Structure 1
Amino acid sequence: MTDGQVPATFRRRLVVVAISEYDEGTTAAQTRFRAGIGAQVAVVEDWWGGAALDDERRFTPSHPPKPLQSVHDLRAFLIDEDLVSAHEDEALVIYITGHGLAPQGAQHFLRLTDTRLERPLSTAFPTAELVTAALDSRAEHVLVMVDSCFSGRLEEELHTHLKALHPDRKALHTLVVLAAGNEESTPRLRAFTSALAAVHAHCTDEASGYARSHLSWEEFHTVLDTVWDPAEMADVHVLWPPSSVGRRLAASEPSPCLPNPGHTDTTLLEDARSQVGWTRAELDYYWITRATGQMSGDAGWYFTGRATLISEMNDFLAGDDSAIIVTGQAGSGKSALLARLVTLSDPRFRADPAYRPYVCRCSRKTDPQVIPQN
């Protein structure tokens, strides 16, 4: 990836393994559990496969063709999915939910409909097997979310299973496994996805400030820390990568596995300038509402001034100097000058029909050089 952008060529696959059918408890309790699992899956699919995402960010959901009742059913589904054959340019997101089992020992199992509690080794599915298949593929961007009781137990188990993982893949901070709590946690239904939903809602808020098409892992955890409510949400644990790679996943690069639900329209500015120019909402405010004395339907008028400062900045861009320092008191308009420079030098903005009338009313003498994106 370059310039903080996620290539549109990435293939995106969302694999959902959700076990909701268990022959225990009252009929009402079984109905509530199925509804709870369905609600959890809906949160995940809304984030990664929802209609609000454009085609270049939406993941294709994959479900088992029939309920997963036995270990054989789950293995057959995973064979069809062929996770180990995922390619480098594929982003994998895997969501696993259902009852978890943690018998004596260090293993974690996903309980299935036909699982017999006294025989977990042969009738329950070893969760680490599924996780390992994804991490040992060639996909460079993987997110696995394990939303079940005792899922934190996987941390120690993964470190054992993945000792043979190639050193290059061990060094990747883009292979991520999240769990709904530690090795003893028994989160309530929807507790893990409530945390996801809160992050989703925060990023959708225009005031959040996250405008890129994808979040970084650093941004994801910053938002999670902000919105986390211990009374309503599971304590999301990072099981992988190991602490030697970066326990808090302090990676600033956008991840193909984290499409930003609050992504603003950056087609207005070319990608190289989208992070230093104004967003469309800000452009509407500064170029149309605040900067003009317009009446409805009128292109309005514009103040003039600062021609000398603007000319100096334009000359810098056209020259060979490597740096320029813009100084001034707080509120004197430093950011406004820089934003004007960035915006007016962008050919996509200048050609946008919504702003062309206002651009044409600016003085040609203070226009910066139009710089196409390389």
Structure 2
Amino acid sequence: MRYLIAAGTRHYVEEPELPLVHQDVDGVVGLFASMGYQRVLASVSHDPASADFEDALSDWCQSPGLTADDVLVVYYAGHGSRSATNQYRLACADSTHGRPRSWLSLPNLAEVVAESPLRNVLFVIDACHAAAAGAGLGAVTDTVVAGRGRGDELGSGTWLLASARHRDTAVDGAFVSELAKAYRQGDGASQRHLSPGTIADRVNQSFVASGLRQRAACSSVDQSEPPPFFPNPLFDPQAEVTGEGCTDAGSADLASHFEPRGRGVEQVYDSGSYFTGRERALRRGRDHLAGEEGPGILVVTADPGSGKSAVLWWP
């Protein structure tokens, strides 16, 4: 199952209002619903008190039926700042500077989630200086993971997609619309999912084009599998290349994997042909295929990314 928790705070006790936060929350709900996510904890989605949100998350994470294969995305929009002890925190409807516990603690949220059965978690923080949340999330998650038993799968780990870097201020309403555009671009037909890094890069391209100074960022901890958070809307099962180097249908691997690499590009839809050199390797391969080296097997081996697929495409 895919689950979404989306919340944000527009009205505050001491901080200025963020008029577009609720609109952003609703936009995230619609976007992730199109990816097959089920929304949970809607009762604490608009202007929650910090304790109410944390308690609701804690109760839900102990729900029976959650498994390591489930995927969770937690989105929060609002004011973000550092405390007197330099800990990154998020403002809620009841947050005041004289009451530290009235702020939402990212390490607390990370601990709650890390102690649940969930092993595929993405925090999307839409706030000023949001990338600063990565330190707290990572430290707590690493500590909890270190205490797990042998054989406990890591899954894709815990990810952070931040709408702004450590020193960046975030523009109210700027991130979610670009997030949706970045996702809907999709990727090559053989790619099952879009990586959060790809999403962040595309958002940043739009920020640059719009003249905005903020930049999105992403990070992860304890990752052992590809991140499954953004299903590729252009994915074609007939073109998928499996982990064994084969495809789910016929010779689609020739089109989706070897052909673009043989041209020196990343995806099938990229234009151009830039492959040069490797004359000795190509000549050896052609001689072997022509039978000039006698019977036997020719093995092509080299470091990852060195061009094995490109060489194999050409003979």
TM range (shorter): 0.5 to 0.7
Other-structure match for 1:59? 37
Q: C-alpha separation between the residues in 1 aligned to 2:61 and 2:116?
A: 9
For 1:41 and 1:211, the matched residues in 2 are separated by 31
Q: How does 1:217-236 map to 2 (within 5 A)?
A: 217=196, 219-220=198-199, 223=202, 229=208, 231-232=211-212, 234-236=214-216
CA 1:48–1:125 in 2, change beyond 3 Å: closer, same or farther?
Answer: same
For residues 16-72 of structure 1, give each alpha carbon's deviation from its aligned partner in whole angstroms, at most 9, with x where no partner exists. 1222233579xxx85xx34x113322442233212xx4xxxx010124325444233
The equivalent residue for 1:47 is 31
| C-alpha distance in 2 between matches for 1:80 and 1:211 | 38
Please name the residue that 1:258 is paired with: 230
The 3-state SS of whatever aligns with 2:74 is strand
User: In structure 2, do the counterparts of structure 1 residues 216 and 182 end up closer, same or farther at CA, with 3 Å as the change threshold?
Assistant: closer
Deviation of 1:153 after TM superposition, in Å, equals 2.6
Out of 15, 22, 31, the residue aligned to residue 5 of structure 2 is 15
**Residue identity (%):** 19
What residue is the counterpart of 1:293 in the other structure?
Answer: none
Task: Describe the shift of the 1:132–1:170 C-alpha distance in structure 2 as closer, same or farther (beyond 3 A).
Answer: farther
Q: CA deviation at 1:134?
A: 2.1
8 Å contact from structure 1 (residues 195, 233) kept in 2: no
Render the CA deviation track for 1:321-351: whole Å, top value 9, x for unaligned.
Answer: 9789xxxxxxxxxxxxx9xxxxxxxxxxxxx
8 Å CA contact 2:238–2:248 kept in 1: the answer is yes
CA distance in 2, matches of 1:229, 1:201: 19
Task: Provide closer, same or farther for how the CA distance between residues 178 and 104 of structure 1 changes in structure 2, counting only shifts above 3 A.
Answer: same
Structure 1 pair 157/265, CA: closer, same or farther in 2 (3 Å)?
Answer: closer
Matches of 2:172 and 2:11, distance apart in 1: 14
Aligned to 2:21: 37
RMSD: 4.1
My pick for the range that moved more, 149-158 or 109-118, is 149-158
Larger Rg: 1
Whether the 8 Å contact between 2:141 and 2:158 is mirrored in structure 1 is no
What is the CA–CA distance in structure 2 between the aligned matches of 1:82 and 1:39, rounded to whole Å? 26
For residues 12 and 153 of structure 1, what CA distance do their matches in structure 2 show?
26
* Number of residue pairs matched by the alignment: 253
Inter-partner Cα distance in structure 2 for 1:275 and 1:226: 32
* C-alpha distance 221-84 of structure 1, shift in aligned 2 (>3 A): farther
Deviations 1:92-139 (A, max 9, x none): 1111111223222221222121222222x1322212211332234332
What does residue 199 of structure 1 align with? Answer: 182
- The answer as to 2:158 corresponding to 1:181 is no
* Structure 1 stretches lacking a partner, 5+ long: 1-10, 280-320, 325-337, 339-374
Output the amino acid matched with 2:8: A
1:133 aligns with 2:123: no
Structure with the larger helix share: 1
| Amino acid in the other structure paired with 1:49 | A
**How far 1:160 moved relative to its partner?**
3.9
Q: Name the CA shift for 1:213/1:45 in 2 (closer, same or farther; >3 Å).
A: farther
Q: Give the aligned partner of residue 127 of structure 2.
A: 148
Equivalent position SS for 1:184? coil
The 5 A counterparts of 1:224-373 are 229=208, 231-232=211-212, 234-241=214-221, 255-264=227-236, 266=238, 271-273=248-250, 276=253
**Are 1:102 and 2:78 an aligned pair?**
no
Shift of 1:210: 4.3
Residue 60 of structure 2 is matched in structure 1 by 81
TM-aligned CA distance change 1:157 to 1:267, over 3 Å: closer
TM-score, length of structure 1 as denominator length:
0.55
Instruction: Give the 3 Å change call, closer, same or farther, for CA 137–275 of structure 1 in structure 2.
Output: farther
1:114 and 2:94 matched:
yes
2-structure distance, mates of 1:130, 1:93: 12
Structure 2: gaps of 5 or more residues: 241-246, 257-295, 300-312
1:238-292 deviations in whole A, cap 9, x for unaligned? 3432xxx7xxx8x9x6532111233357599x8455953779xxxxxxxxxxxxx
